[in-house]
Amino acid sequence: MPDPITISIEPYQEGTATASSLAGDLIGLPAVRERISGPRPAVADFRLLEKDAGADAPFRAVVHDPDAYRSVEVTGRLGDLAGAAVRSVRFQPLPGREEFDRAVEAVRAHAEFGPQLAADGALAYRPMPPLADVTHADGTVDRVVTVGLRTPGSDVKHRIVGVRTKDGTVIPAPEGVSAPSALDCVTIPPADNCPDPSGGPRAVRVRVRRGTTELWNLVVNRPRTSSGVNGSGAELRFVDYKGERVLYQAHAPILNVRYTNDRCGPFRDWANEEVCFDATGSDPVGPGYRLCTSAPRTILDTHSDQGNFRGVAFFHDGSALRIVSELAAGWYRYVTEWRLADDGTILPRFGFSAVTNPCTCLAHTHHVYWRLDLDVGGSTANRVDEFNDATGWTPVRLETQRTRNPASHRQWRVVAPATGRGYVLVPGANDGTADAYGVADLWVLRYRGTETDDGRPSDTRAHIGDFVNGESVDGQDLVVWYGAHFFHDEAGPPPPSHVVGPDLRPVVV
């Protein structure tokens, strides 16, 4: 009998500056107050731009004024806040539950749509896209929250309306949303009705031990506190296996979907809105992090949007620690999961589902892009090799973006030259190959603290390629991005699985 596995979870305290510790100082900067004068300014985004940042790290923050609907970006160094640069930027925070519920109330009070919503089987739901803001000739912008209406009794089964946040005016056909549709896709109604208690730590330190041997030691952020302008799912940091660093950070900052012939969308999704799934166990550090006594069950298992928990669920299944959460973006539902096996193998996973909507019965492709900041063996000097049948392993010298080639068994490995230890990245059988919209399957980049996501591109496509500019990656601190592409067509044969992701297997070369 091997020794039993024990899992410990404790709150993790950031060692460096955070948005909440700096909020007052940032909002109080004269250059910020000049542009942001409303009564409720808030730091909407904050990040340090350097690994293992010290007291004078460079940072970037966004301060948002929800009343004037204006935002500024603040960039500078922690040691010299007064010297920070401030400039106006466009920023549209996602509608929270309260704002969305207010929009639904406005629709219920509307002369035409109110009665429709009272009918049997009718419902109001969060659609895509979440906002349909209107820009006026004078440059001011009205925030418009979209509301999806399902009216099963009529020819029009779904329509998306807008509600102007400042006065509750209903806009029957806002620009930029799909036309009213006779399609009624997916029979799962949106629920999202599990408790959402406040409190609980932003992040936790998790340890997996076999007997007295520590296998895994890492920090986990729930999706709600994950990094990136659109969040990045369940996020891992400082991942050590048997006392040696493997990953500095691992997350999925880019998520989008494109429909064949653009019959809906395309949409850039977000990965920080948690929804309900089933997780049975205890919450050792408060809400949001649950240690399970049985396997968590998501919408992919239950075909239901209901559940008893939101946040991150941990479960050891006998050979691996599973780290599971479920996300919503409009009508989409995503399962974000990491499996950390006792033997050192790492399996990033993403699963795709949806609740009632007018789009997903049309053929579409989901794209998810993981950012894997590998620091194998604790060293930041790593190397990437690419394998092909004809040529064997070839070192990658310069930043590059690559596509899969199953015929030549193409795969990649990240190696610490000092020790020969590394990880092979084997593409998943279900991971597809990039089309023009998917861009590519793998990127090798020099580590840059400013390149943790692709920002706010004006289109929905992934813009990781903007970071490929010929820098050396041989023996450098490097980052691998990996894309998976899931073709979803309910009219075609059912896919073998609704889950994608590569395998990262430890090797010694």
Rule CB under 5 A: which residues touch Cu ion? 352, 488
**Do 239 and 260 meet the contact criterion of CB atoms below 8 Å apart?**
no
Which residue's CB is nearer to Cu ion, number 316 or number 488? Answer: 488
Nearest distance, CB of residue 210 and Cu ion, angstroms:
38
Instruction: Give me the least distance between CB of 231 and Cu ion, in Å please.
Output: 19
Least Å from the CB of residue 53 to Cu ion: 38
The strand pairing partners of 365, in sequence order, are 258, 487
Minimal distance, residue 487 CB to Cu ion, in Å: 9
Q: Which residues of 295-329 are buried (b: 16+ CB within 10 A; e: fewer)?
A: bbbbbbeeebbbbebbbbbbbbeeebbbbbbbbbb
What are the CB-based long-range contacts (under 8 Å, 24+) for 52-56?
A: 53/16, 53/78, 53/449, 54/16, 55/79, 56/80
Cα(469)–Cα(446) distance, integer angstroms: 10
Q: What are the strands of the beta sheet with 158-164, ordered from one edge?
A: 123-125, 144-150, 158-164, 170-171
- Contacts of the segment 19-28: beta carbons below 8 A, 24+ positions apart: 19/43, 19/45, 19/46, 19/61, 22/46, 22/61, 22/78, 22/81, 25/81, 26/61, 26/63, 26/74, 26/81, 27/63
Least distance (Å) from Cu ion to the CB of residue 498?
Answer: 8
**Is residue 64 within 8 Å of 38, Cβ to Cβ?**
no
Q: Residue 363 is encoded by which pair of tokens?
A: 């053929």
Closer residue to Cu ion in complex, CB, 260/472: 260
Q: Name the minimum Å distance from CB 489 to Cu ion.
A: 9
Output Rg (C-alpha) for the chain, integer angstroms. Answer: 23
We find the least distance from the C-beta atom of residue 184 to Cu ion, in angstroms, to be 16
CA 209: distance to chain centroid? 29
* 485 vs 488 by CB, closer to Cu ion: 488
The closest residue (CB) to Cu ion is 488
Tell the residue number behind the tokens 């036309």, with chain if given: 179
Cα gap 457→290, rounded to integer Å: 35
The residue (of 241 and 352) whose beta carbon lies closer to Cu ion is: 352
What's the min distance (Å) between Cβ of 270 and Cu ion?
Answer: 16
Is 296 in contact with 335 (CB distance < 8 Å)? no
Question: For Cu ion, which is the closer residue by CB, 69 or 267?
Answer: 267
CB-wise, 70 or 488, nearer to Cu ion?
488
Q: Whose Cβ is closer to Cu ion: residue 231's or residue 330's?
A: 330
357/452 with CB nearer Cu ion:
357
DSSP label at residue 362: S
CB of 370 to Cu ion, least distance (A): 18
Which C-beta is closer to Cu ion: that of 387 or that of 487?
487
